[in-house]
Amino acid sequence: MSEDKKSFQQIATSTLVPERRVGVKLYLRTGLDRYVLFINESAVLSSGKIEQLYSNNVKHLYLDTSDRPGYLSYIKGNLSAILDNPELTANDKASIIYDTAKDITENLFSQPSTENIDQTRNLVDCMIDSISQSPETSNLMMMITNQDYYTYTHSINVGIYAVSMTRKILPGISENALKTLGLGFFLHDLGKAQIPGSILNKKGPLNQDEWRKMQEHPTIGAELVRKLGAGTPEIIDIITSHHERYNGTGYPNQLSQKKISLPGRICAFCDVFDALTTKRSYKKALSTFAALKIIKEETPSHFDPELLNPFILLFGGN
């Protein structure tokens, strides 16, 4: 059965989990723009079928691009088992984590709920487990961060940067503690889910009333995670403090210097860096070098000078 008129997307064979149903049709590529059905959407993948693919050196299968949402649902439901597969390369792990993060975080920002918070927590746990097993996964994820600004991709990028920086500054941190902070980093801007789109997406400068409303998002975010049952002190702290400034001119509490927690100071660096290096409708993305130059110029007024060099070194290879 040939499927020549569809639009196909490649997936890694190593994302297949034995005795699970993917829920979408998967195809083998038999030639240039020619595909044949491998399994249908109701089939459960046996270990034997997967081993057969590996023995024949079939590293990729294909799906109809219209079935991508169904495949992402399969990934979300089986993320831990997929990332545990030794056949999965670090590059594939990074791509899977980032693509899954985009889907989960977009859902979270469009509809904040306990279920979507739990999915985000599971994502962060799987990400940190993968980084612990293969440290290069962290560097690869930093390299594929999205350069088009959306509130949800910004949250992912900041989460990845901040987790990576925390691991470097606190090499002895436990995985459980890092997972808690990681969730806080991913949720740092959740309050923007309740800021009007007319303010978030405004192309020009905000007026005084709009700016006051925007400055409420850390407080709104903290209340939201409390309401949804994720309001641990560490997570609340990151959400409320990521816009505090080292000289005390930030918001919402005008904290200064070491009165701002270490995770809050880390998140501040990552938040500004990502805002500078992603493009918006009204500005171009800056290069890593240009963004780091601006951050250096704003230290120590905005940022902790003790964290500047570790932050710069974080991007030394990018």
262-277 vs 305-314: helix axis angle to the nearest 10? 50
List, as one string, the DSSP characters of 222-282. Answer: HHHHHHTT---HHHHHHHHHTT--TTS--SSS---GGGS-HHHHHHHHHHHHHHHHSBBTT
pLDDT of residue 2: 45
Q: According to the model, what pLDDT value does residue 273 have?
A: 96
**Ranges of residues in the chain whose predicted pLDDT is under 70:** 1-5, 147-148, 281, 317-318
The domain made up of 89-314 has a fold known as: Hypothetical protein af1432 (1.10.3210)
Q: What is the pLDDT of residue 148?
A: 65
Residues 6+ apart with CB under 8 A from 106: 150, 152
Question: Which spans in 41-191 are helix H?
Answer: 47-55, 68-77, 79-83, 90-110, 114-133, 136-143, 151-169, 175-186
* pTM, two decimal places: 0.87
Q: Tell me the domain boundaries of the chain.
A: 1-68, 89-314
The answer to whether 255 and 218 have CB atoms below 8 angstroms apart is: no
pLDDT at residue 307, as a whole number: 97
The contacts of residue 142 (CB under 8 Å, 6+ apart) are 160, 161, 164, 314, 315, 318
Residue (of 99, 200, 185, 98) closest to 149 by Cα position: 200
Start-to-end C-alpha separation, the chain: 45
Burial state string for 71-81 with b = 16 or more CB within 10 A and e = fewer than 16: bbebbbebbee
